[in-house]
Amino acid sequence: MKTALVTGSSGFIGYFTATALLRAGWRVIGVDSLSDYYDVDLKKRRQEMLTRHENFSVVNEGIEAPGLLLDLFARHEPEIVVHLAAQAGVRYSIDNPRSYVEANLIGTFELLEAARAHPPTHMLLASTSSAYGANTEMPYRETDKADAQMSFYAATKKATENMAHSYAHLYGLPVTMFRFFTVYGPWGRPDMAHFKFTRAILNGDPIEIYNHGQMRRDFTYIDDLVEAILALIPAVPDPDHPLENDSVSPVAPFRVVNIGNGTPVALMDFIAAIEAACGAEAIKTYHDMQPGDVPATWADATLLRALTGTRPVTPIAEGLQRFVDWYRSYYDK
């Protein structure tokens, strides 16, 4: 039985990724600190569901702990690694930047060092669409220059891309970085917009709309995202055999891949879809743009389709209805 190591396994994306790997016949070693950045009970519920699988085991500790990952790699020798553990959130990075250094930079360093000692077949590491930063030409392509990040969160994620490239070059570690575009769905993070809007609408509270609603986002439904991650496992980067318009490095087995719908949605349309799913109209308050945020994101998913034959397709109304149905059930609304 093949072994996968999934960091951040009790997180939103980590839970669904680990579940999909288990269903596909993998043995999964999870690592998660169960940090209190958001509701720990939600993380524990996800983890409890994973532990029902006999081929899942988990270590509840931060990946930045010295030697933790090195020990796990030595004991389990994972064929693949899906690195999802990170301190997330654009706005929180303004208030608590040190947590991003520890989880994102030091944690990823520990992962790379462990992989150097015990090389897996393929490492798949999460980045973010926020890495494109101040870029205004859209859709975002993986080959675009991305050197002007707008938040410390985005800066740390772009730094992990650079760190991983150096290890790919120096030690021949095959690495795929995926840049996620606003992932949403059931069991999602409470700090995400779809979660906050749904909670407020069902409670009769006002919602906060930034940049006076003049924002667009490329939303990605969780099932589509996980399907793409698993489809990328066999797509090991090869600098000697690049595809057309490939982002593969000329000097390392390293590639960046967007995972997004390729169809940006206006914020007010997004809110209207949540209102329809909730069966109630939101009380709206309008505000200026928040520091570190960007007005729009839009993924070019051409490379993902070329590598996997698939791309995210779930319509926003359908995905949001599934989320609201889950929310009502989970919170007894």
How far is it, in rounded angstroms, from Cα 225 to Cα 333? 27
* Measured distance between the N- and C-terminal CA atoms of the chain, rounded to whole angstroms: 42
The sign of the torsion formed by the CA atoms of 146, 130, 295, 267 equals: positive
Q: Please pick, among 37, 140, 153, 221, the residue that the annotation labels catalytic.
A: 153
153 given a catalytic annotation:
yes
Please confirm whether the linkage preceding 139 is cis (ω < 30° from 0).
yes
Q: Other C-beta atoms within 10 Å of 24: how many?
A: 12
- Across 215-242, b (16+ Cβ under 10 Å) vs e yields bbbbbbbbbbbbbbbbebbebebebeee
Tokens matching residue 162: 């650079």
Which active-site residues does the annotation give? 153
